[in-house]
A = this chain, B = another copy of it.
């Protein structure tokens, strides 16, 4: 046991780490990466010895805000320090590295430690790597899903709610914002949480935020739901399956995206809001996340099996993900598309895809007969009922219920990218379009992004505008133009696939 003087570092690290002098680490019989108990006036926390440094003198311990908060100490206080053991999770992570199947209890223990920030980056990364290499079987996916749900808030919004999810990877594609008002207008309960952009120019939450608030407490969400039978909010503002974000942070540096973890992540979010019927959009295409039908079908089957085991009736639609859906890319440009679509003037592909998804969800929920879904969805949209419901949702979430497409501010710095030859638009690369829109400032600058003047198949002349870039500042516009010139996200002609010499 050592008595050490607290030296406070006034930042949060999000990790339970402390820094000691090398001599004190030896005196404790510890090493970097070991856990210690830190006690002060009756309180004890566990922290990980993350670094030893001559900047912390022997007899001192450097604490960051996270540990300071839980321990309620101030600079100069003296704390007791004792070696602590490893959490059980470590053993289970090693088991997964060894290729063995984890039990419900073992996965639950790991997820609890992740949620409680008990694991170091090294330990968390080992878990993520183990899952990437050795995968989960379906039992493990179910256990992981339940563990992620149980370690967060979960809200019973009542049996019979409908929900929708998209695997992502397609620019634009703001179908949720048409589907939700259509379902809710038909009287179906639709509590929808969405994500913000990670590597895309906009998530549904970013786009919805152009029109209304997206961050609410669970009680506020109950109120909104009672009023308008639905909501469209940012999932991150409520504590649903909080393990997910922490796991994603460790997956991000190596772009690890193990299928089992994706399945659990998606379904945990749905289970946390007690969804009963779920339609999943799986876009397939050259520049989408999923590139071939075999993988798409395989993933779809797994989602359906997982849904069955979680008592969420699930259907998957494999969709054309070769190019962006809609014309606007970036929060405000997408929000404008959505409002136009609710007025019957939106991009045809966006409207059509949304109606197909809504139709499928109507049929899945048993609300309408097989074959009638799409027609009924179309009726709700063209009657103006979906628009009215959308304005009600916007009002319930604190937005302007009289908003019109022309109210939406779009970036004032613009530049038109033109075709340098005559021909058919052959290909639009989702990833490159996304990158140019992000260079222009999206999603941070809501008014930044891209507007597509052409779609795949269109005939263009030399000098016709392919797309317009919108930005909030001149320097970001320049960045986006340079990237567009270099990367050429839209291909005109391009029937020559390769040259053999």
Which residues of A pack against B, CB within 8 Å? 1, 9-15, 19, 26-27, 29, 31-33, 50-51, 53-56, 62, 65, 86, 90, 93-94, 97, 99, 120-126, 128-130, 132-134, 198, 249-250, 252-256, 438-439, 443-444, 475
Contact = CB atoms under 8 A, between A and B. Distances in A.
B252 A32 contact: yes
Given A11-B55, A123-B254, A133-B133, 12 more contacts: A9-B11, A11-B51, A11-B62, A12-B51, A14-B51, A29-B439, A33-B252, A33-B253, A53-B65, A97-B129, A121-B125, A123-B253
A31 B250 CA distance: 11
Contact of A53 (B13, B50, B120): B13
Residue among A9, A62, A122, A252 with the highest chain B CB neighbour number at 10 A: A122
A198 B31 contact: yes
Residue among A14, A29, A86, A256 with the highest chain B CB neighbour number at 10 A: A29
Given A50-B13, A134-B133, A29 B126 contact: no
Contact of A125 (B10, B29, B90, B129): B129
Contacts of A198: 31
Contacts of A134: 133
Contacts of A254: 90, 93-94, 97, 122-123, 126
Given A31-B198, A129-B130, A133-B134, A26 B444 contact: yes
Contacts of A438: 29
A65 B255 CA distance: 29
Contacts of A252: 31-33
A27 B250 CA distance: 22
A97 B53 contact: no
The 3 A-B residue pairs whose C-beta atoms are closest, nearest first, are A125-B125, A129-B129, A121-B121
A51 B13 contact: yes
Nearest to A249: B32
Contact of A97 (B33, B99, B120, B133): B133
Contacts of A50: 13
A277 to B, nearest CB: 33
A52 B84 CA distance: 28
Contacts of A256: 94, 97, 126
A295 to B, nearest CB: 16
A249 B33 contact: yes
B133 A444 contact: no
Residue among A51, A124, A475 with the highest chain B CB neighbour number at 10 A: A51
Nearest to A123: B253
Nearest to A120: B253
A12 B54 contact: yes
A344 to B, nearest CB: 35
A438 B28 CA distance: 10
A10 B10 CA distance: 11
A358 B98 CA distance: 39
Contacts of A9: 9, 11
B121 A122 contact: yes
Contacts of A32: 249, 252
Contacts of A13: 19, 50-51, 53
A93 to B, nearest CB: 6
B11 A122 contact: no
Nearest to A93: B254
Nearest to A444: B26
Contact of A55 (B27, B65, B94): B65
A373 B97 CA distance: 45
A256 B51 CA distance: 20
A128 to B, nearest CB: 8
Nearest to A32: B249
Contacts of A253: 33, 86, 90, 120, 122-123, 126
Contact of A11 (B15, B53, B120): B53
A255 B98 CA distance: 12
A1 B478 CA distance: 13
